Structure 1
Amino acid sequence: MPELPEVEALTGFLDRTLVGRPVARVVPVAVSVLKTYDPPVTALEGLTFTAAARHGKFLDLTADGLHLVIHLARAGWLQWKDSLPAAPPRPGKGPLALRLRLAGPEGAGFDLTEAGTQKRLAVYVVRDVAEVPGIARLGPDPLADDFTPEVFAGLLRDERRQIKGVLRDQSVIAGIGNAYSDEILHAARMSPYKLAASLTEEETGRLYEALGATLREAVERSRGLATGKLKAEKKSGLRVHGRTGQPCPVCGDTIREVSFSDSSLQYCPTCQTGGKPLADRRLSRLLK
């Protein structure tokens, strides 16, 4: 799933690539991808891109006052192509969801694709980004200058939920997903099950530092990369997420996993839970 660092890199790439270039044609291939209908997506045709921005995990491409907002969800991606196929795409069961062709140079543009059967990729065309429900409810951006230790502590103070879930909640903090929440908690040497409101002042400060450092390092690794290389860069930079059974790069203990119905988390027992493995509730149910 693309998270804040990858969307930040995509934003930078598209800001360099799209601004000043007009739209020739927008073709939605999967009807389910469109979440707004007024103005229609075809209203972008003939307009010129003027800016690219990020709101949490949302891409915001501005074209003469209209906003093309994209949420890549779990399995979506933006594929830039210097030369798109000349033939118009046909609706079908493939991964292609939407194609945007620029007026020049001939053939350049991008495809929005989505793997898997759960179609959650979302495209909006709006006059004001606040019209997108997901953007309207976003919490503060953790890379913003005004995201201070005091602001962070205030967000956690009354949270009676596990810290893993709080970090992933877009209405609390914008842009962090499953992978980087694992990485942040590992860097902070903190159990994903720890209750947010129970954190001491020292633990809150340690988590704040880990959050900022983890995200900024990931952004720097991705800066300037082409869209086709961002997924590999994300995977190569992860220390615990997706590395079940491998040695922890800090202490050498075996990285463990807790599975849920549609996701999983990874952690190091020695670094994060005092050497105690966390209960895997799904596995426990299977063994009954």
Structure 2
Amino acid sequence: MPELPEVEALREFLTGHAVGRRVTRATPVAFHVLKTYDPPLSAVEGGTVTAVARHGKFLDLAVEPPGAAPDGPLHLVVHLARAGWLRWQDELPTAPPKPGKGPLALRVALGDPPGPGFDLTEAGTQKRLAVHCVRDPAEVPGVARLGPDPLDPSFTAAAFTALLAGEHRQIKGVLRDQGVLAGVGNAYSDEILHAARMSPFKLADKLTAAETAGLYDALTGTLREAVERSRGVAAGRLKSEKRSGLRVHGRAGEPCRVCGDTIREVSYRDSALQYCPTCQTGGKPLADRRLSRLLK
């Protein structure tokens, strides 16, 4: 799943490639992708992309409609979900896309000059990619419920401490909860906890002051490092760039890059976490079942 660093890199990429261009065509290909109907998606056609923003894992393309727009720009808000992606093309096919069983979900063609644009694609059978055409990004429920952005200058160590104070649950789940903290998903929560040398099962409201300070540094440092690593990388290469920078996530069975111990995994119904026993749990493996405690 694209998380904060990759979505931020896509935002920067689109800012350089789409801002100032006219939307000549916006074509939904998969029936499930469009989540709104008023205003219709066709309302952005003929408009100009004026800015690209990020809200957690959401991309937000501001499009100024043609003619007078007293209500301001429309917003094309995209959530790529688990298996979605944005694929930029300097030359889009001239023939309109045909609905089918392929990964293509939506195509946006841009002008000035004509030719470029991007496709939104989604692999797999679980179709969760979502596109909203709205007048205000806050109309999107997922955006409205977002917690603070960990890379916002106002997100201080004190703000993080206050955020954790009422969370009597495992820190892994807290970091992934978009209503608590915007933009961190399964992969980067593993990476953050490894950098903080902290068990994913530790209770958030039981952290000491020193542990909280260390986790804050790991959170902001890991995300900033990933953003810098992704900066300037072409959209098509961002996925492989993300994988190459991960130290524990997706590396079960491999040696830890820090201590050499074998990276372990805890599997759930639809996801898994990875961790290093030596770095994070005092050498003790975690039981591979939901709501587990350390094995004794």
Provide the residue aligned with 2:100 in structure 1.
92
Alignment of 1:119-138 (within 5 A): 119-138=127-146
The match for 1:206 is 214
Picking from 117, 138, 156, the partner of 1:109 is: 117
Runs of 5+ in structure 2 lacking a partner? 65-72
Partner of residue 53, structure 1: 53
1:27 corresponds to: 27
The residue type equivalent to 1:128 in the other structure is: D
Establish whether residue 253 from structure 1 lines up as the match of residue 225 from structure 2: no
Looking at structure 1, the residues matched to 233 and 81 of structure 2 have their Cα atoms a distance apart, in angstroms, of: 21
Give the letter aligned to residue 18 of structure 2: L
Structure 2 CA distance, aligned partners of 1:196 and 1:178? 17
Instruction: Please tell me the residue identity of whatever aligns with 1:157.
Output: A
SS at match of 1:124: strand
Q: How big is the shift at 1:141? A: 0.3
Equivalent position of 2:191 in the other structure: 183
**C-alpha distance in 2, partners of 1:103/1:204?**
49
Secondary structure, in 3 states, of the residue corresponding to 2:228? helix
CA shift for structure 1 position 31:
1.4
- Deviations, residues 52-106 of structure 1 (Å, cap 9, x unaligned): 0000000000011000000000000000000111111110110000000012332
Rounded Cα–Cα distance in structure 2 between residues aligned with 1:99 and 1:177: 26
Give the counterpart letter for 2:50 in structure 1: T
Report the 3-state secondary structure (helix = DSSP H, G, I; strand = E; otherwise coil) of the residue aligned with 2:32: helix
Structure 2 SS opposite 1:258? strand
Q: Which amino acid aligns with 2:222?
A: T
- 2:49, 2:167 → 1: CA distance? 41
Shift of 1:281: 1.4
In structure 2, distance between residues paired with 1:106 and 1:153:
50
Equivalent positions of 1:209-220 (< 5 A) are 209-220=217-228
**Which residue pairs with 1:42 in the alignment?**
42
Q: 2:74 aligns with which of 44, 47, 66?
A: 66
More helix by share: 1
Aligned mate of 2:283, from 248, 268, 275: 275
Task: Give the AA of the match of 1:206.
Answer: G
Deviation (angstroms), 1:158: 1.3
TM-score (norm 2): 0.95
| SS of structure 2 residue aligned to 1:153 | helix
**What does residue 201 of structure 2 align with?**
193
Residue of structure 1 in register with 2:68 after alignment:
none
State the one-letter code of the partner of 1:210. A
Shift of 1:134: 0.3
Give the structure-1-normalised TM-score.
0.97
Q: Which secondary structure does the structure 2 equivalent of 1:146 belong to?
A: coil
> Among residues 234, 245, 252, which one is paired with 1:244 in the alignment?
252
Whole-Å separation in 1 of the counterparts to 2:289 and 2:225: 33
Instruction: Give me the whole-angstrom Cα distance separating, in 2, the residues matched to 1:19 and 1:10.
Output: 13
1:203 & 1:128 partners in 2: Cα distance?
A: 38
**Counterpart selection for 2:153 from 133, 138, 145:** 145
Cα distance per residue 1:205-251 (max 9 Å; x no partner): 00000001000000000001110010010000000000000000000
Q: Once the 2 structures are TM-superposed, how far is the Cα of residue 22 of structure 1 from its aligned partner?
A: 0.3
**Distance in 2, Cα, partners of 1:25 & 1:177:** 32
Quote the RMSD (CA, aligned, Å).
Answer: 0.9
The one-letter code sitting in structure 1 at the alignment partner of 2:59 is: L
Partner residue in 2 for 1:83 = 91
- 1:233 aligned residue (216, 236, 241): 241
Per the alignment, residue 160 of structure 1 pairs with: 168
Q: Percent identity?
A: 74
